[in-house]
Amino acid sequence: MEPRQTPSQPKRRLAIVAGHPVQYISPWLNGLADNAGVDLKVFYLWDLGVSTANDPGFGRPLQWDIPLLEGHEYEFIPNRATKPGNQHFFGYINPGLAPRLAAWRPDAILLMNYAFLTYILLLLDPRFWKIPFLLRGDSHNLNRKQGLKSKLNQLGRSFLFRRFAAFLVVGSANHQYYRSNGVPTSKLFMGRHAVDNARFAAAGTTAAATALTLRESIGIGQEIVILFVGKFVAVKRPLDLLYAYANLPTPLIASSKIVFVGEGHLEESIRTHAQHLGLDGVHFLPFQNQSMMPAVYSMGDLLALPSESETWGLVVNEAMNLACPAIVSDHVGCAYDLVVPGQTGWVFPTGNIQALTNCLEDAIADRKHLHQIGEKARNHVCHFSYAGITASLRQALDKVCRDQPTLR
C-alpha cells in the first residue's frame, strides 16, 4: 500500500492532454484525482461529445448522454483547425495550450495521443523540457504495411518516443508496438484497456427488459442475434459480416438475425447487398447513445467486429460485460488479450470471409454453448478495469517523479 502523503509531501500535479471528452475515458478521469492521489487537470483540444460538433465517422452531430465532465477539473483549449478531429495530422491546432499548461505548473504531463501537430509542438517546447511526459495510446503494428515510408515513420517514432519518460500500455499488441519502436521495457507499465464495468453491471435487469422491447420493435423473436455495433464505414468491413452470414447453412440463417447498430455512409450499401443476397433477417437500429448500450448488448447473443484496422475495440469490452461474446478479426487490438479463442470469443484472419463464416457457424450452432462462452467472457472482462489503468499510472508516476521536486 502506498504511504499517505503528508503536508510536507504535496500531491503531484498531473496534467492530462486529451483530444476531446470520450465516453470510455471520462468515467475513469472522474475518480482519478482521488484514486491516484494527484492534483489533476485535463486539457481538452476539442469539444466533440459535449457540443453539437459533427463526428466525421457517423456523419452527424454527436453528444453523449452520460456525464463526461463531472468529477474532474478541466479546460477546453480553442482548436483553430479548419477540420478538427483525429482524421489527419492538422486536426488539432491549439496555440493556446502551451501557455495555459505552463501556467498550471504540472509535475508530469500525460498525453492521450502524440501523432498530431499540437502534441508534437508541445513535446518540442523548451518550457516543458524538464517535465516528464507520459503517453497512453493504443497503437499497434497489426495492419501496418512494410516499405520505405513505414521504415522512415518508424525512425521518426523511435526518435520522438525518447521524449517520453513512461508509457501506459493497453495490451499485448500495444506493448509490441512500443518495443518495435525502441522503447525499453523499463518504461512500459501495463494497464489494459477498459470501460466503465460498474455502469454496465448495474444495468442488469433493466437492460434485459429494454432489450426485449428492442427486439419486438424490429420484429425479432427468439432467434439468435448477431450484433454489429459502430460506424458503417469501410475500415470496419460490415459487408464482410453480411457475406459471411449469407454463407451459413440455411437452418442457421433461419434461426438467427443480424442487427446493424449505428450509422454511416455504407448503410444504403449494406441494405442493398442484403436484398440482393435474399437475406430477410438483416435489421438496423439507428445510432444508440450510451444510456441505451447495455440494452443493445443484452439484446445480442454475439458481437462481430471484422475491422481491417481497430486499435482495440472497446465495444467488445462493453458487450462482454453483458455476457455477449465476440468474433473479431486479427487486426483488432483486443484480439490478443480480451478475446481468448474458443473461451471468450473467436478470432479470424482479416478479410477472410470463409473463416468468418466458420466462426459464425461455430458460435451459433449451439445456443447453450454460446451462452456459456458469454458467461466466460463476462468473468474475463472484469480483469480489464479502471483500477488496473490507475495502478499503472501510479507506478509510472512513482518512477518518473521519484527524484523530481514538485514545481509549485
Q: Which pLDDT score is estimated for 408?
A: 43
Contact 118, 91 (CB under 8 A): no
Q: How confident is the model at residue 403 (pLDDT cuts 50, 70, 90)?
A: low
Supply the pTM of this predicted model.
0.91
Q: Which of the following CATH numbers is that of domain 197-381: 3.40.50.2000, 3.90.79.10, 3.40.50.970, 3.40.980.10?
A: 3.40.50.2000
State yes or no: pLDDT of 113 exceeds 90.
Answer: yes
Please check the confidence at residue 326 and state whether its pLDDT lies above 80. yes
pLDDT at residue number 204 = 82
> 407 pLDDT exceeds 60?
no
Q: Answer yes or no: is pLDDT of 184 > 80.
A: yes
Residue 151's pLDDT band (cuts 50, 70, 90) = confident
Cβ neighbours of residue 195 closer than 8 Å, sequence gap 6 or more: 24, 314, 317, 318, 321
CATH number of 12-194+385-401: 3.30.70.80, 3.60.15.10, 3.40.50.2000, 1.10.10.10? Answer: 3.40.50.2000
pLDDT for 328: 98
DSSP 8-state class, residue 290: G
The residue to which cell 455502469 is assigned: 199
Helix or strand (DSSP H, E) at 110? strand 108-111
Distance in angstroms (rounded) separating the CA atoms of residues 45 and 199: 27
Q: Residue 317: which pLDDT band, with cuts at 50, 70 and 90? A: very high
Residue 54 is predicted with a pLDDT of 59
Examine the pLDDT at 383 and tell me if it is beyond 90: yes
Higher-scoring residue by pLDDT: 16, 144: 16
Which has more confidence, 404 or 58?
404
Calculate mean pLDDT across residues 310-337: 97
First to last CA, the chain: 26
pLDDT per residue as tens digits for the range 70-79:
899 999 999 9
Reported as a single tens digit per residue, the pLDDT across 48-87 is 877 765 555 555 566 777 888 989 999 999 999 999 988 8
- Give DSSP secondary structure letters for 17-53: EESS--TTTHHHHHTHHHHHTEEEEEEES--TBTSSP
On whether the CB atoms of residues 175 and 403 are closer than 8 A, the answer is no
Model confidence over 204-243: pLDDT tens digits? 889 999 999 999 999 999 999 999 999 999 999 999 999 9
The helix (run of H) or strand (run of E) holding residue 372 is helix 367-381
Indicate if the pLDDT at residue 123 is higher than 90. yes
> Taking all residues of the chain, what is their mean pLDDT, rounded to a whole number?
92
Residue 227 and residue 297 in contact, taking contact as beta carbons nearer than 8 Å: yes
User: C-alpha angle 62/67/72, rounded to 5°?
Assistant: 120
Confidence tier at 1 by pLDDT (50, 70, 90)? very low
Phi, psi of 299 (to 5 degrees): -70, -30
Three-class DSSP category at 356: helix
**Rg of the Cα trace of the chain?**
22
Q: Where in the chain is the domain with CATH 3.40.50.2000?
A: 12-194+385-401, 197-381
Rounded to whole angstroms, the Cα distance separating 24 from 378 reads 18
